[in-house]
Amino acid sequence: MKKRLLYLFLMASITVSAQKNIYESKNFDDLSENHKVLAIIPFLTNLDLKDEISRNELKRLEEKEGYAVQNALETYFSKRKRKKKFSVEFQNTKNTNAILTQKNITYENIDVYTIKQLSEILQVDGIISGNMDINILLSKGVPTEFSFLDYFLGDSNYGRIGIKISDGVSGKLLWKYEKKINKKTGKNTNDLIDRMMKLATRKFPYDREKKKDRNKTKT
């Protein structure tokens, strides 16, 4: 019984912490009223590895990590979408990346394009993007050895990730979620995204249940 209460307390604490790291624009409803399709683009990654590697290799690994997050988000949204949890569709990332390639937009230069430009090129209503600063290769998995003290105190931080949703027409930020990456956040990229998005489920702006709650508040 005590173990169960402790578990519930920890889960509640983690959920509250997640919600504190979430921003939503007060104009979200107005700006997203006609949103039907969103595109997920590769995340911009900054790697700070202890290993001595060449600049070219570092860039290659950063790109790999950025695409890994893009894929993990698509996987998460696809699973939830099958349960009809969202009010929008998500563009297939293979199509997203193919269109970007056709327009000579690469991982190296995508950051020079505005949200409005990318939305027009991809023909979507909004863009899901983000940044990640990490000191490990998350796609390969985080170290599994740790003490209980590390687990509860959240020691051995590996960096930070931020997920953003922006309106395609105005280019304005609609929603943002930031989270530290440590031994508690998941064993790899897919696990990390799955866990952090589940914590933010009731705060995700396109979640159908959240939309119902918001409409009830207005009436």
Given a contact cutoff of 8 angstroms between Cβ atoms, the answer to whether 31 and 96 are in contact is no
Per-residue pLDDT reduced to its tens digit, 143-193? 655 444 444 444 458 889 999 999 999 999 999 999 988 777 777 888 888
Write down the pLDDT at residue 211: 57
Question: Does residue 18 carry a pLDDT above 70?
Answer: no
> pTM to 2 decimals?
0.81
Query: Chain-wide mean pLDDT for the chain?
Result: 82
Terminal alpha carbon distance of the chain: 41
| Least confident piece of the model among 94-103, 180-189, 190-199 | 180-189
CATH of region 23-218: 3.40.50.10610
The label of the residue with tokens 């599994």 reads 144
Amino acid at 186: G
Question: Does residue 217 carry a pLDDT above 60?
Answer: no
Write down the pLDDT at residue 145: 52
Question: Does residue 96 carry a pLDDT above 60?
Answer: yes
Higher-pLDDT residue of 12, 20: 20
Longest CA span, the chain: 59
CA dist 184 and 149 (Å) reads 12
Burial of 24 by CB count in 10 Å (0-12 exposed, 13-18 middle, 19+ buried)?
middle
Torsion angle of the four alpha carbons 176, 129, 38, 219, in this order, in degrees rounded to the nearest 10:
10
Write down the pLDDT at residue 151: 45
C-alpha angle 70-74-169 in degrees, rounded to nearest 5: 80
CA dist 7 and 136 (Å) reads 28
Per-residue pLDDT reduced to its tens digit, 105-114? 999 999 999 9
Write down the pLDDT at residue 218: 53
